Amino acid sequence: ESERLAYLKRLDVLGNAEGDNCYDNLVAAVAGLLQAPICAISLITEHSIVFKACVGLNHNDPVPRHFGICSYTLLNEDPSAASLFVIEDLSRDPRTANNPLVTGETALRFYAGCPLVMSNGIRLGALCMFDTKTRALTSEEAQFLVNFGTLAAVQLERAHLQNGEGGISRQLSQLSQGHQDVDLSSMERCEAGPARLQRMRDACHEVVVLVWARPDCANWLVLYA
């Protein structure tokens, strides 16, 4: 946990900065396409959950971490077995049934969160969606949320990936130079490694455009770019 908090501080993404509207566009696209009344990018600090972007909910004030459902996405799971954390009925799950966001005026009933996994395997938060009614995700909807979660993770780490500071790049450089005293602990986790680092670096130079392609219309609506 100390390593995770240190990396979150190092990225310096908790505040607002120029260009942060890309996060707003991302959550708006996810909310619209998945028909979710609430969608957010959450970052989990030591004591609270901060919303980097959010639609459908007042996100000016952080949520106490022990109330935040996104905290469950930090639990160690085999990423090959579970990419999403989903609760189809928050009122019936013992982990969330007494949560004020469920029992109170907000009356949340559904949650799905994709962990924001950095190039070194550290989870900083989640791209999440809420609903005020119980529901289930189709496999296509789940994959869409995972894909956009990856986009959010790349954006959060973009500056460090582009200047060579992202994730495990320093360890890889030291290994290539013959250093023997390199900490390999982060590289041994299956969420991290040279392939993931390179893939996230490559994504910094890619352009993602999501359009509504209709066969009966020549003017396609751009949903996200």
- In three-state secondary structure terms, 174 is helix
Is residue 81's pLDDT more than 50? no
Global confidence as pTM? 0.75
Spatial distance between the Cα atoms of 75 and 115, rounded to a whole number of angstroms: 10
Q: What is the DSSP letter of 70?
A: G
Q: What is the mean pLDDT of the chain?
A: 78
Mean pLDDT value of segment 54-62: 82
Spatial distance between the Cα atoms of 148 and 153, rounded to a whole number of angstroms: 9
> Can you list the positions of beta strands (E) in the chain?
38-44, 48-55, 63-64, 85-87, 110-117, 123-131, 210-212, 221-224
DSSP states along 131-156: ESS-----HHHHHHHHHHHHHHHHHH
Mean pLDDT value of segment 54-68: 84
Q: What is the pLDDT of residue 18?
A: 63
Is residue 19's pLDDT more than 90? no
Q: What is the pLDDT of residue 26?
A: 92
Q: What is the pLDDT of residues 33-53, one digit of tens each?
A: 999 999 999 999 999 999 999
Q: What is the pLDDT of residue 186?
A: 43
Q: What is the pLDDT of residue 84?
A: 87
Most confident of 14-23, 124-133, 200-209, 214-223: 124-133
Structure tokens at 220: 């396609």
Q: What is the pLDDT of residue 215?
A: 63
